[in-house]
Amino acid sequence: MKLKTYNLLNLSLTCAGFLFSGYLSATKFFTSNCAYQEPCPFFLGHPACYFGFGLFSTLFITSILAFAGKIPIRGSCYAIRTVSFGGVLFAGYFVLQEVIRYAAAGFEAGALVLTTCAWGLLFFLIIFGLSFHNPATHEQNVEVSKGAPQEKDFRIAH
C-alpha cells in the first residue's frame, strides 16, 4: 500500500468515526437522550459517547496532519496506534457489559443491528490494525530494490 493510499484510508476511517461519535454526542447533548433509543453508558459521570468523540477527534486530527505531511508517518502511526488501542479498551469495556446484559436478557437487534459501542469498537479495531502497516518502510524497501546493483555471477570458469 502506498503512503498516500494509507493516509487516505486512515483519514476516511477516522473521519467516519469522528462524524458518527459526533452525531451520538450532539444527540445526547442537545436532547438529553441517546441516539437510536439505546441505553446510555456513562464513564466518570459523563456519557461514554463524549469520550469516544474525544478519541476519534484525536485520531482524525492526527490523520489530517499526516495526510498534509505536517507530521512524520512514523510518529502518526505510533500516535494512531496508541489512541486507537485506548479506544479498543474503552469501547471493549462497554461492549463486554452489553454482552453480559444480552446474555441475561436476550439479544434484541437495534436500529443499526449492533450497538453504537460495538460499532465504535469495530472502527477502533480496524484503525488499530491498520496502524501496524508502515508504508514508509515498504516504500523505502521498494526504492532500495530498484536501485540495488544486480547480483553478479561469481562462478569460476574452467
Reply yes or no on whether the pLDDT at 24 is more than 70: yes
Per domain, the residue ranges of the chain are: 3-133
CA–CA dist 148, 132 (Å, integer): 27
pLDDT top residue among 80 and 145: 80
Burial 7-41 (b: 16+ CB within 10 A, else e): bebbbebbebbbebbbebbebbeeeeebbeebeeb
What single letter denotes the amino acid at residue 69?
G
Could you report the per-residue pLDDT of 66-98, keeping only the tens digit for each? 999 899 888 899 999 999 999 999 999 999 988
CA–CA dist 1, 54 (Å, integer): 28
pTM of the model: 0.78
Could you report the per-residue pLDDT of 117-142, keeping only the tens digit for each? 888 999 999 999 998 886 755 555 44
Looking at domain 3-133, which CATH architecture does it have? Answer: Up-down Bundle (1.20)
